[in-house]
Structure 1
């Protein structure tokens, strides 16, 4: 079904399997967020005239938050890496080319790392475009009223979206706060846990220099 401006969810066996897997693992909140991220990314690709593979972009978008779900509550990896690994396993089971698997893996792994994805393959750049639009409204003004309304009607944000999405991010990472260092997710942990202390890069350098001096003195 076309949602808006010719953009639709890929109609393939693999895409349908992606939908089924994510639908079973994610809440309505994360499932709808992931689907909207696909549409925002695809619409951005259309607007920018980028050549991308809709099936790869859809897979990346749908798997990008899988690492936040109950299945990964024991993991100490970055949740992005859990999602990237899950997508890789899925694509390998479908005989997808390694180069394409690498695109999806990288898109998911880097979707919370700012300043890098936009310089990489379209699928990688567009996933971050889509996620950024949906969570914090990056590029909001570049989408038409019809595009915004149509996507959100088809896949609603629901009431109190901002608090529920922050809590979903927190619940998926509170058991591994150290994994958020260097990404936007560190802000989520700090916002929800008032006892959390950011690691300070400058302090880490100072501590390293002290260790080197101790070694030289011994």
Structure 2
């Protein structure tokens, strides 16, 4: 797989998702969500899965909006809050109710420890792709050339420091949510030691 072979869905929902992600995310977080989409496509090809590409793209671009101050909910988990943003955005793009709910489900499930692809293929791919971008999990399933190409196009920047700070803040304020599990599971160390951080060195 090469970046030249990949194009984002050309739909109103996809364009709106990119516009909102660009407006509200820092450069490092914006690159993270775009890499997450590309890693998801790579895993789909490697695992022989056929996702709904528009649903996957929109969910990937919006999945971390709940840690952005403008969308940070004082009670809901950040992935749940982001899912509700997706519902509102896709409603404006004319998605039917069931499809809007799917966007919420995919975003919420990206923070599950594991998602069975037979249960939710898009949730599985977003969970797998974000695990790669945060902790380096299953990196060898994707070609080295593809990983390098994605990182050159969308550098990691300050993701490790920014994401760690955001998730720690969420865990303190909302200790019953997945953010607490991520922090207790060593997300700071995983980000710091992620081999993607050093892949382009040398």
What is the CA–CA distance in structure 1 between the aligned matches of 2:53 and 2:117, rounded to whole Å? 17
How many residues are treated as equivalent by the alignment?
189
Secondary structure of the structure 1 residue equivalent to 2:61:
helix
Q: Name the stretch that deviates more: 137-146 or 70-79.
A: 70-79
1:64-213 map, 5 Å: 64-158=63-157, 161-180=159-178, 183-187=181-185
Q: Is the 8 A contact 2:72 2:78 kept in 1?
A: no
Q: Give, in angstroms, the shift of residue 135 of structure 1.
A: 0.7
What is the CA–CA distance in structure 1 between the aligned matches of 2:143 and 2:81, rounded to whole Å? 34
What TM-score comes out, normalization by structure 2 length?
0.82
Q: Is the 8 A contact 2:86 2:103 kept in 1?
A: yes
Q: Corresponding residue for 1:214?
A: none
The one-character-per-residue Cα deviations of 1:83-139 (angstroms, maximum 9, x if unpaired) are 011101111121113332232211111111113354422211111111111111111
Secondary structure of the structure 2 residue equivalent to 1:184:
helix
What is the CA–CA distance in structure 1 between the aligned matches of 2:42 and 2:143, rounded to whole Å? 10
Q: Give the CA RMSD over aligned residues.
A: 2.5
Q: Which structure 2 residue ranges, 5 or more long, are not aligned?
A: 190-202
Q: Which structure 1 residue ranges, 5 or more long, are not aligned?
A: 192-218
What TM-score comes out, normalization by structure 1 length?
0.77
